[in-house]
Amino acid sequence: MVRRVSRSVGRAGTTLASFALVAGLLACSGPSGGMGWPPSTGAGPCQVTKQADVPARMRDGIVLKADVYRPAVHEAVPVILMRTQYGKAGADIQPSRLQTPSWFASQCYLVVVQDIRGQGASGGTFYEYANDADDGYDTVEWAAALPGSNGKVGMYGTSYVGATQWLAAIRTPPHLVTIVPTNTSSDYYQNWTYEDGAFRLAFIEPWTMGSIARSAARQRGDLTTVAELTEAVHNAASWEHYRPYASFPPLHPDDPAVAPYFFDAIRHPTYDEYWKRWSIRGHYDQVTVPVLHFEGWYDAFLAGGVENFAGMVAHGATAAARAGQRIVIGPWDHIGWGRPGSIEAPMLKDIGPVANSPINELMLAWFDHYLKGQPSGVAGSGPTVDYFEMGANRWRSSTAWPVPGTRFTRYYLGSGGHANTSIGNGTLSAQAPGAGGPTDTYRYDPSDPVPSVGGHSCCAAISGPQGPYDQGPVEQRPDVLVYTTAPLTEDTEVTGPITVTLYAATSAPDTDFTAKLVALRADGTALNLNNGIQNARLRTSLERAEPVIPGQINEYTIHVWPTSYLFPAGSRIRLEISSSDFPQFAPNPNTGQPFGTDATWQAADQTIYHDPAHPSSVLLPIVPPDDPAVHTSATFPIDE
């Protein structure tokens, strides 16, 4: 078990908290070979007993149920709390994610795992996000007063269970000391349900059918709906072709007991008050606690997780909260954390043990520091960013995000008028375009969208488009424009946010534009690093749609999600531009009708400009090589 964490110091004098990756960590993180999860090693000295279905009454009288794991100690101890919609018995353990509640309780913590409202054994009616702030506050204060508690509460958990932490934290419960939200976002419109106006189809539909709507139906005893949703989610790929979304049959649009939040989300395709009431990003100044964030480069909520870190550093309620921020970003998708039993994209799996997530040991050290006051080195003198540099396959550590000293470098799109496919003449260059350059054109047909090959969807590599894959087949389509640099003359690290500025015209009253950053390896493999999309009508504001005039040139900003990759000398940087990415995003029907109401579509003729008046480009975050003033190689030895 973790007892001491060393620190590394850059030559420029900046002290950086280091990161776990050597053999000692791997021994703690889990078994090798084909052994199962969770490992039985690393348990603490305390014997544990479990109390099931312990009731907690919320402010409106609804009773929620929790399992309480008690360590056999005489003194009062801190509480570690999870509030989950996925079943308290599961406790985010599988697939190969968190250790068991008993394991954490054996470290002499009082561990509480609660079913949220309308799920599992708890009472009330489930509606996404609606009750998690008040219920979270009430549960933190209830847990702090449990027999055996010393009044200090930390929270943990992944995905929606990260949302339950943030929604509680923005209400500032007095006894909440720290949170550890993992693979979760900053907002439940932007980069959760929608991404810059595009509906996240491959995530929202299967997740709603197979998880939250089905478990809520089970909680209220509606076994007929449970059976129907089970059958529907087995055919999720077929249902992803169904239109219109506003009458999606598996979720019973005429029965408000099944999934009213799904249809409310369809009725609110802009960032309006429906969504703002649950936003985290506008409330960092209410959060008083240090936060240990975990994210993955191909995770469904990476952009929001990075925003949470940066937002807390800039706007946290106290100096201690602002300084007490640490984020770990690994080569992971939403649930694949590199361990032998985890399921993830093959190229992530092939990285090997150096990529394994150290969340359990690092989280325990974090709780020991903040809840028990045991110096462990995991909390530095200021914010810390630990990130995995893909390509080099090594961990790096920095003091800020983006990495200090990053050189944001603009590369311009160009072509001889035929950037279509990987054998076209599209170029990517640091030289601004000259006069007289031709445009590139393609036809986007919503009935034949560009397929998603990898990406940052949810929730597993075998069920949704996520992770790195060779984009070669995608780049053979004429509706994909491909822009590529000359071979790089030196190793180039790209780490941070990526922005595409695109000057484009469409023949349709509405459409989408997509962008994908790709590493073209010397062997010809075209490895997707990350991607983004922008709805045309929401190009200037996610709050208000603005008409698109067919044929008019507009400027579009496409936010490609962050990445970290070392392009070796001889490789090339590539950018793909298109208008669809299915099923990661719902194909835009190009009709201009209200979202989710249209079962028809029309083709759109798209024109991309790259001339002096319309310099389409991508802004890349280039990190100077091996500058200790910028970042250090991370080392984080673990002593047992």
Q: Which residues are catalytic?
A: 159, 299, 334
Calpha distance 49→586 (Å, rounded): 48
How is 99-121 classified by DSSP, letter by letter?
PPHHHHHTTT-EEEEEEPTTSTT
Calpha distance 590→445 (Å, rounded): 9
Residue 130 Cα to chain centre, angstroms: 21
CA neighbor of 572 nearest in space, from 639, 458, 490, 451: 490
Q: Is 29 helix (H, G, I), strand (E, B) or coil?
A: helix
Q: Where are the alpha helices (DSSP H) in 523-625?
A: none
Calpha distance 441→606 (Å, rounded): 6
CB atoms closer than 10 angstroms to residue 319: 8
**Which one-letter amino acid corresponds to residue 425?**
N
16, β-bridge pairs = 8
| Counts of helices then strands in the chain (DSSP H, E) | 14, 29
CB atoms closer than 10 angstroms to residue 16: 25
Q: Which tokens is 510 given?
A: 């509405």
How is 507-518 classified by DSSP, letter by letter?
SSSS-EEEEEEE
Calpha distance 585→511 (Å, rounded): 12
Q: Which CA distances in Å does 424 have to 413, 415, 525, 553?
A: 13, 8, 17, 23
CA–CA–CA angle 115, 121, 126 (5° rounding):
65
DSSP state, residue 310: H
Calpha distance 45→511 (Å, rounded): 60
CA neighbor of 467 nearest in space, from 385, 527, 388: 527
Q: Please name the residues in contact with 613: beta carbons below 8 A apart, sequence gap of 6 or more.
A: none
Inter-axis angle of helices 160-169 and 132-144, nearest 10: 80
Say how many residues make up the chain. 640
CA dihedral sign of residues 12, 17, 23, 24: positive
